[in-house]
Amino acid sequence: MKHILMIATGGTIASKETGEGLAPAISSDELLACVPEVAQVCSVDTVQPFNLDSTNVHAPHWLEIASIVEKNYSRYDGFVVTHGTDTMAYTAAALSYLIQNNAKPVVLTGSQKSVYSRDTDARRNLSDAFLFCADDNAYGVRIVFDGSVILGTRAKKTRTRSFNAFSSIDFPAVAVMREGRPFYYIEGRKPQGEPVFYRQLNEKVFVLKMIPGLSEDIFDYLDTHCDGLIIESFGAGGLPDYNDNAFFKRLSHFISMGKTAVLTTQAEHEGSAMDKYAVGRKLRSCGRVLEARCMTLEAIVAKLMWILSFARGEEAEKLFYVPVERDIF
């Protein structure tokens, strides 16, 4: 029988009505008691490092979860992380970079309704997470939600209310949960050797979403507060060349200070193609502008925070294009 550690962090799944709206208030042991059937397939210990609405979860919490996994890695066969849905995809991506060469499953799940709601999806999701985590072929960081098993680097929350809240962007789901077990679409090979844990992230990363008419004056802030800039551009990718190419000039200056810039697209599917249009090709003149291609925004943010915690310039560029858990291709 597999031995699994459940790491409870809050979210809707653990929320109760407070009179001022839902807020996390249910303990890890209470959550586990709602799925007694998992005792037939695994033994479970619980830990609760924090109990937060995931709107408040960011890099220090990602590092804390990774640290718990690292400290307990030899004692357990897998890990289930209960988490709010709003930033779950960011946490899953971050854990994919913080825990690499990982032969054990780290499974994130949550729900769109509290575990105590009459028509909740929480019990199914939590049960599926444990059943997947106990499977002999499971490994790596995955989100298990509404019967789908999604790579931690490919997940995005695409619905705010429906039970099928998460989608796997431009990559197939790893598996689906049916009749109490996973049916795999993709059967990868478990990594060999020891896992590699990273213990730092650089939060000085900014996402700039382009809108028509945006002023280049935004760089007055970016130049002094950011080490990494992610530009969410229009369509296939590019910058406006109005105001005498002001955006290009300011971006060139940003990069000349040893900072890292990444171009992505606001479109959810099919990724960027920076060389397709003139407004994209002109970015080549700005210096080292990285292209995210098919990566999700969540993965770009987490990967850049990971890389910039220890690398700059050419080294950062090389690392960005090295695939981790099929994040870029």
Higher pLDDT, 187 or 261: 261
* pLDDT at residue 240 in the model: 92
Which residue numbers are catalytic?
12
Confidence of residue 33 (pLDDT cuts 50, 70, 90): very high
3-state secondary structure of 214: coil
- Spell out a b/e string for 172-187, using b for 16 or more CB atoms within 10 Å of the CB, else e: ebbbebeeeebeeeee
Statement: the pTM of the whole predicted model exceeds 0.85: yes
Give the tens place of pLDDT for each residue, 83-135. 999 999 999 999 999 999 999 999 999 999 999 999 999 999 999 999 999 99
Beta bridge partners of 166: 157
Using alpha carbons, list the distances in angstroms from residue 285 to 2, 114, 232, 253: 55, 51, 19, 11
Residue with tokens 């890292």: 260
Average pLDDT for residues 50-78, to the nearest whole number? 98
Can you tell me the distance from the alpha carbon of 12 to that of 18, in angstroms, rounded to the nearest whole number?
A: 13
Give 165's DSSP letter: -
Confidence of residue 275 (pLDDT cuts 50, 70, 90): confident
End-to-end CA distance of the chain: 37
Q: Is the pLDDT of residue 287 over 90?
A: no
Average pLDDT, rounded, for the chain: 96
Average pLDDT for residues 304-308, to the nearest whole number? 98
Give the tens place of pLDDT for each residue, 226-259. 999 999 999 999 999 999 999 999 999 999 999 9
Give 17's DSSP letter: E
Can you tell me the distance from the alpha carbon of 275 to that of 169, in angstroms, rounded to the nearest whole number?
A: 22
Give 9's DSSP letter: -
Give the tens place of pLDDT for each residue, 151-189. 999 999 999 999 999 999 999 999 999 999 999 999 888
Give the tens place of pLDDT for each residue, 182-197. 999 998 889 999 999 9
Instruction: Report the share of the chain in percent with pLDDT over 70.
Output: 100
* pLDDT at residue 278 in the model: 86
Can you tell me the distance from the alpha carbon of 65 to that of 259, in angstroms, rounded to the nearest whole number?
A: 28
* pLDDT at residue 210 in the model: 97
* pLDDT at residue 48 in the model: 98
* pLDDT at residue 283 in the model: 87
Average pLDDT for residues 6-19, to the nearest whole number? 95
3-state secondary structure of 300: helix
- Quickly count: other Cβ atoms within 10 Å of residue 273's Cβ: 15
Domains of the chain, each with CATH number or no CATH: 2-197 (3.40.50.1170), 205-320 (3.40.50.40)
Average pLDDT for residues 4-28, to the nearest whole number? 95
Question: Helix 59-72 to helix 88-98 angle, to the nearest 10 degrees?
Answer: 50
